Structure formats: structure tokens, C-alpha cells
Chains A and B, each alone.
Chain A
Amino acid sequence: MPAALDAIITELHESDRQERIELLLDFAKNLPPLPPELEARKDAEHRVEECQSPVYLFVEMIGDRVALYGDAPAEAPTVRGFVSLLLEGLNGASAEDVLKVPSDLVDRSGLTEVLGMLRVRGLSGMLRRIKRDVTRVAFASHGSTP
């Protein structure tokens, strides 16, 4: 997986319960605002259906690098933190590296132990969504169809 994401997951994994909560809260606070042109495109197409809070993800390719943007409400710090974590860990990676991210990422981070099984399902949905969109956008930018 991309080195930046690997470093975040390793740090979470090596932290204790309260440190994991604090890290996720820091990510939630540091989620950059959506660019204005994307703010206007927060529609059903860009909403992550697996998430109970309104979470929006946008995937673009800049050259051969993935550019991710996302938004989640401040009242849902867990999902907001996870969006922020994925953005920081995956931005600038190649499409191939994003697709290679293990789907048990949430378990690997140790967040399942903190949040419990019932809460992490929506988080895994976000990663699935990013991979799906990266596949679609990366293929489109290469001028072929999947």
C-alpha cells in the first residue's frame, strides 16, 4: 500500500485505545475543506451509501496520480476522521497502489478494537468506494473502458 497510508496504519496499530481515539480526532479536525467547485457537486452520485452520515468523496487523476477530496459532518467525528486519514494516506499515490490497499485496513489499524464491529462497517465501505472510483477514473483517463 502507499507508504503514507502504511505509516498512518502502523502508527494507529501501535497506539493504545485512547491514543487511537486522539489520532482519529486529529484527523477529523484536519480534514481540508472541499474546493468550492466540488462543494457544489455534493450530490447522490458522490455520496458514500454505506455511511449513515452524509459523506462525500471525489476522485480525480492528476497525471498518473490519484487526487482525493472528501467531506463529512463535524457531528460524526469517526467517519470524518477516517475520510481525512484516507485522503492523507492515498493522495498522490498511483492508481495501482490504491487498488492494492488491503480491504481489511480498518482491522489492521486496530480501530475495530476501539469502535467495535458494528461501527466499522461504514468505514470499510469508504475504502471500497474509493477503489471503485479510482478504477473508473483511471480507466477513463487512459481512454479505455473497464
Chain B
Amino acid sequence: MGEGYARPEVLVSTQWVLDHLDDPKVRIVESDEDLLLYDLGHVPGAVRIDWQGDLQDQVLRDYIDAEKFAELCRRNGIAEDTTVVFYGDKSNWWACYAFWAFTLFGHKNLKVMNGGRKLWIDEGRPISRETPRYPATTYQVAGGDEPAIRAFRDDVLDHIRAKKPLIDVRSPKEFTGEMLHMEDYPQEGSLRGGHIPGARSIPWSRAVNDDGTFKSAAELKALYEGEAGLKPGDDVVAYCRIGERSSLAWFALTFLLGYPRVRNYDGSWTEWGNLVRVPIERGAGA
């Protein structure tokens, strides 16, 4: 796996995970859109970290603070030097989101299991319903990575003034402004439809194959450079509706293609589409 990827070590195969199920330096983490999937059966020894219940602050629209993150790691048996391997449903969309959130707090040694939950099950690998318990650690947050990977709305305004590239990973109808959310999802959350001026549309799902694995480096280059016009070395901002689908694009651009500066704008369309007087473009765009 990983021919031509810039940092192939961040992707591991289902076989690698099977070989490391009892490795005390490795913690397998399931992160799904559907919370119940973990209880239905998961990779033996995997813990569940929920993007909504665990990683987001329940009052502020923000992530949990450093102390809560440290507690989350401590109770899941994750130490500063633990290799954390994420996997989940929907082609690892939520696994990438958790990976991105862990990066905010400066955790190194993060990986994604290529293919996610679906491939693991399709390959007939073992499933467990037991919730494991691990000895608590004394995790201390390293921190410091947020400015490198997270864009706020003022950063995005600066970014468009500087005519730097933006990637919009929502579905085509959300990009043109016909819809406020993917088809079949509740159409709510923003007062205006459309996209950030100058953004190029590359729906997130185009970065993955039908079996949930990532496309090859050559296919990803054709997508982000051929179609979206990015150039190696570009300073890129990716966004979607709440910053989850764009975590997958952030992951692909940063680790699979080696872009030096990619930030995820997690405010995304639910913020931009509600802001007063920010510029909006409708239609097919550039």
C-alpha cells in the first residue's frame, strides 16, 4: 500500500491492524457517524471516540479543551507515545475527523486504517462486542498544532483576499447553492446557499474508492491538481458544512500528497452561510 504517497506511514492496512491487536503501544479507535455501530461489533480491543459526544464541547461551538482531551486519552489508555489508529464508517470520513482533532492537540503517531470499518467486515476479520478497559495513563497535552491545521473565518477572508486556493468538498448541489446539505440530509443550518468565492469543488467522496480505501497518489493528483488546479506547495484551505468531510480532504492533501500547509475551516458552510456581509458565490463557479 501507499505507492507514491508522501507520508505512507500514516495509512495502515487491515492486516497491519490484525497483527497489532495486542500491541501495548497501539490503540485502535473507532469513530463513526452512526454511534451504535461500535456496539454492534468492533475491531477487538478498539475503543470508541465519538466526534460529537467526546471531541466537541457541548456548550461552545468548539472542540474540547486541552484538559478534557487529556482526560479522554487517559481513560482510553492512550499515552503521549501511543500510536493511535483510527477507523470508522463512511470511508473513514469520521476517522479522519478524529485524526484531525487529535492533531489539534499535538498528538503525534496517528494513523488511519485504510478501508475503514467496511473493509474490515467485508474481509471477514474478527469482530468483538466487548468494551475493553485499559489502565489509565497520565497523558499531558503537547498542543501547539492548531494554527497550522485550523482556519477561522478571518483567516478565510485573508485567504480569499490573497487569492489563495480553497477546496470545497461538499456535494455539487451544495456548492452551487441549490441545497444547504447533502441530498437526503435535513436541509437546515444556513441562511444562504452557495460557496466561498474562488473555491473549487472536489466532493470528498471522490478521494476514496468503492471499498473505502484511498485512491492512489496519481489519482489524487489528477483530482486536486488536474481538476482543482492546486500546485504542490500551495497554501490550501478546505471546508465543507461543519468541517467533517473536509477533514478527509485535509488528510489526503497533507499526508498522501504532501502539501505543506493545509488548513481545515471547521466553521465551514454552517458559519459562512450565516455570516452577515461575507462574499458568497453561487452556481458552478470557477
* A78 within 8 A of partner (CB): yes
- A67-98 interface with B by 8 A CB criterion: 75-79, 81
Main DSSP-derived SS at the B contact region = loop
Residues on A with C-beta less than 8 A from B37 are 75, 77
Contacts from A to B (Cβ < 8 Å): 21-22, 24-25, 28, 47, 49-52, 75-79, 81, 114-116, 118-119, 121-122, 125
**Contact across chains for A125 and B186 when beta carbons are under 8 A apart:** yes
Residues on B with C-beta less than 8 A from A122 are 185-186
**Contact across chains for A25 and B40 when beta carbons are under 8 A apart:** yes
Residues on B with C-beta less than 8 A from A119 are 35, 52
A47 CA / B118 CA spacing, docked (Å): 24
**Contact across chains for A78 and B36 when beta carbons are under 8 A apart:** yes
> How far in angstroms is the closest Cβ of chain A from B52?
4
Q: What 0/1 pattern do residues 25 to 44 of B give for CB contact below 8 A with A? A: 00000000011110110000
Q: Which residue of A lies closest to B52 (CB)?
A: A116
**Contact across chains for A78 and B186 when beta carbons are under 8 A apart:** no
Q: Which of A24, A75, A114, A121 contacts B186 (CB 8 A)?
A: A121
**Contact across chains for B39 and A78 when beta carbons are under 8 A apart:** no
Residues on A with C-beta less than 8 A from B40 are 25, 28, 77
Known contacts A22-B39, A116-B52; is-contact A77 B34 (Cβ 8 Å):
yes
A119 CA / B242 CA spacing, docked (Å): 13
A128 CA / B53 CA spacing, docked (Å): 26
A77 CA / B184 CA spacing, docked (Å): 17
Known contacts A75-B89, A118-B52, A119-B52; is-contact A52 B185 (Cβ 8 Å):
yes
Q: What 0/1 pattern do residues 132 to 144 of B give for CB contact below 8 A with A? A: 0000000000000
**Contact across chains for A115 and B184 when beta carbons are under 8 A apart:** no
Residues on A with C-beta less than 8 A from B34 are 75-79
**Contact across chains for B182 and A52 when beta carbons are under 8 A apart:** yes
Main DSSP-derived SS at the A contact region = helix
Residues on A with C-beta less than 8 A from B182 are 52
Q: Which of A25, A51, A75, A114 contacts B184 (CB 8 A)?
A: A51
Residues on A with C-beta less than 8 A from B89 are 75
* B154 within 8 A of partner (CB): no
**Contact across chains for B185 and A114 when beta carbons are under 8 A apart:** no
Q: Which of B39, B118, B182, B184 has the most CB of A within 10 A?
A: B184
Residues on A with C-beta less than 8 A from B123 are none
**Contact across chains for B186 and A21 when beta carbons are under 8 A apart:** no
Contacts from B to A (Cβ < 8 Å): 34-37, 39-40, 52-53, 89, 118, 182, 184-186, 188, 242
**Contact across chains for A81 and B36 when beta carbons are under 8 A apart:** yes
A52 CA / B184 CA spacing, docked (Å): 5
Residues on B with C-beta less than 8 A from A125 are 186
Residues on B with C-beta less than 8 A from A52 are 182, 184-185
**Contact across chains for A50 and B39 when beta carbons are under 8 A apart:** no
Residues on A with C-beta less than 8 A from B35 are 21, 78, 114-115, 119
**Contact across chains for A121 and B184 when beta carbons are under 8 A apart:** no
**Contact across chains for A21 and B39 when beta carbons are under 8 A apart:** yes
Besides A50-B186, A52-B185, 8 more A-B contacts (Cβ < 8 Å) are A25-B36, A49-B184, A50-B185, A75-B37, A77-B34, A77-B36, A118-B52, A122-B186
**Contact across chains for B36 and A21 when beta carbons are under 8 A apart:** yes
Residues on B with C-beta less than 8 A from A118 are 52, 242
Residues on A with C-beta less than 8 A from B118 are 75
> How far in angstroms is the closest Cβ of chain B from A105?
16
Residues on B with C-beta less than 8 A from A121 are 186, 188
Residues on B with C-beta less than 8 A from A75 are 34, 37, 89, 118
Q: Which residue of A lies closest to B58 (CB)?
A: A116
Residues on B with C-beta less than 8 A from A47 are 184
> How far in angstroms is the closest Cβ of chain B from A3?
26
- 11 pairs, A vs B, C-beta closer than 8 Å: A28-B36, A49-B184, A52-B184, A52-B185, A75-B37, A75-B89, A76-B34, A77-B36, A114-B35, A119-B52, A121-B188
